[in-house]
Amino acid sequence: MNGRTLTTTLVTAVLLAAASGARAGTTLNTIKERGYVKCGVSDGLPGFSYTDEKGKFSGIDVDVCRAVAAAVFGDSTKVKFTPLTAKERFTALQTGEIDVLSRNSTWTSSRDSALGLNFTGVTYYDGQGFLVNKKLGVKSAKALDGATVCVQAGTTTELNLSDYFRAGKMKYTPITYDKSDESAKALEAGRCDVLTSDQSQLYAQRIKLAKPGDYIVLPEVISKEPLGPMVRHGDDDWFDIVKWTLFVMVDAEELGINSKNVEDMKKSTNPDVKRILGVEGDKGKDFGLANDWMAVVIKQVGNYGEIFDRNVGKGSDLQIERGLNALWSQGGLQYAPPVR
């Protein structure tokens, strides 16, 4: 039994003891009484959750929290952010220190089951990729045979890298670094030809280089890292609210509703649009929320495309392509069930 299994077992054992005390169906009431949503975010990850010079939180993960607050209170500011380290994040959610965990966590089977937590959807389809200097003339990861690769030590990234090259019968020389800053410097100094990490982070690494324009992220993604928010087991009503907050934002983008035109769209004749904006039907009652909660989320936080662009996409410093995160109708994976 290695250390990790031991930890998981320990945590599970404690949780089983704690789970008996969990109160089903009351999360929403507790939050309403308290007056704000407690949301766990990252302790600093470019584009996902970070603070600006004024200490204001921004990022995709942060916007998910705001959207949940908008859904519950009709006010996206009624949220308290708790920055968590990777080690604390699950405990914080399990023990009720936070209501939602929105902290770039990869959706895996063990996290979805043994931890006593549920993933509510995918906010960002991430995956491991490669960053190379344009000078190399490499257009695809398949042409990387014999390359020297910079990689962060002791991460699953290292493992994925070895698997990928072995599967393609290619050779490579790994150079491991402890910090992402070091590996970026190594790539710049020419110590390695390629830098590998999760794609979302490669774009952040690229900004750190002196001439970001000289480097490109290769199209191949060699691992699946779907990132999403999490809630505790045992309260399906709350699970539904968080899950559908995300779905609504994706649906809104598909229907062409955004934060600017949401009021005009209320006059639309499209029944899908009418339902999502609460003009028709009572979609709020099903969730125990106000009838126009979906419209409020879109108005105050935006649709999925707006959130993506503003935090990591075209409207941000990171300039990440939509890629896998484009709508399903545009060749991506973002697909949400209909509001009906």
Partner 1 sequence: MTDAHPSRPDLPPASAIGAFGWLRRNLFSSPFNIALTGLASYLLYLTVPHVLHWALLDATWSGDSREACQANGGACWVFIRANFEQFMYGFYPEAQRWRVDTALLLLILGAAPLFVRTVPNKFKVRWGLGLLLVYPLVAFVLFKGDLFGLRAVDTSRWGGLLLTLVIAGVGMTAALPLGILLALGRRSQMPAIQTLCMTFIELWRGVPLITVLFMSSVMLPLFLPVGVNFDKLLRALIGVTLFQSAYMAEVVRGGLQAIPKGQFEAAAALGLGYWKTMALIVLPQALKLVIPGIVNTFIALFKDTSLVLIIGLFDLMNTVHNATTNPAWLGFSTEGYVFAAAVYWLFCFGMSRYSQNLEKRLHTGHKR
Q: Which residues bind partner 1 (CB under 8 A)?
A: 11, 14-15, 18, 21-23, 43-47, 50-55, 80, 82-85, 87-88, 91-92, 94-97, 181, 184, 204, 207-209, 316-318
Which of 83/284 has CB closer to partner 1?
83
- Shortest spacing between CB 92 and partner 1, in angstroms: 7
With both helix axes pointing from N to C terminus, report the angle between 236-255 and 304-311 in degrees, rounded to the nearest 10.
80
- Shortest spacing between CB 41 and partner 1, in angstroms: 10
CA dihedral 111, 36, 56, 44 (to 10 degrees): -10
Distance CA 171, CA 167 (A): 10
Which of 52/264 has CB closer to partner 1?
52
- Shortest spacing between CB 72 and partner 1, in angstroms: 18
Helical segments of the chain, H only: 3-19, 27-34, 60-73, 89-94, 109-113, 156-167, 180-189, 199-208, 236-255, 262-265, 271-276, 283-287, 293-300, 304-311
Angle at CA 35, nearest 5°, toward 34 and 38? 75
Which of 315/337 has CB closer to partner 1?
315
Indicate the SS3 state at residue 223.
coil
Which of 299/310 has CB closer to partner 1?
310
- Shortest spacing between CB 105 and partner 1, in angstroms: 15
Which of 185/266 has CB closer to partner 1?
185
Which of 53/282 has CB closer to partner 1?
53
Which of 198/251 has CB closer to partner 1?
198
- Shortest spacing between CB 58 and partner 1, in angstroms: 8
- Shortest spacing between CB 7 and partner 1, in angstroms: 10
DSSP state letter for 334: B
Residue 20 near residue 26, CB atoms below 8 Å: no
- Shortest spacing between CB 153 and partner 1, in angstroms: 18
- Shortest spacing between CB 186 and partner 1, in angstroms: 14
3-state helix, strand, coil in the chain (%, to 5): 45, 20, 35
Which of 209/326 has CB closer to partner 1?
209
Distance CA 106, CA 60 (A): 15
Write 84-88 long-range contacts (CB < 8 A, 24+): 84/40, 84/41, 84/42, 84/43, 85/43
- DSSP readout, 11-45? HHHHHHHHHTTPPTT-HHHHHHHHTSEEEEEESSB
Residue 292 near residue 71, CB atoms below 8 Å: no
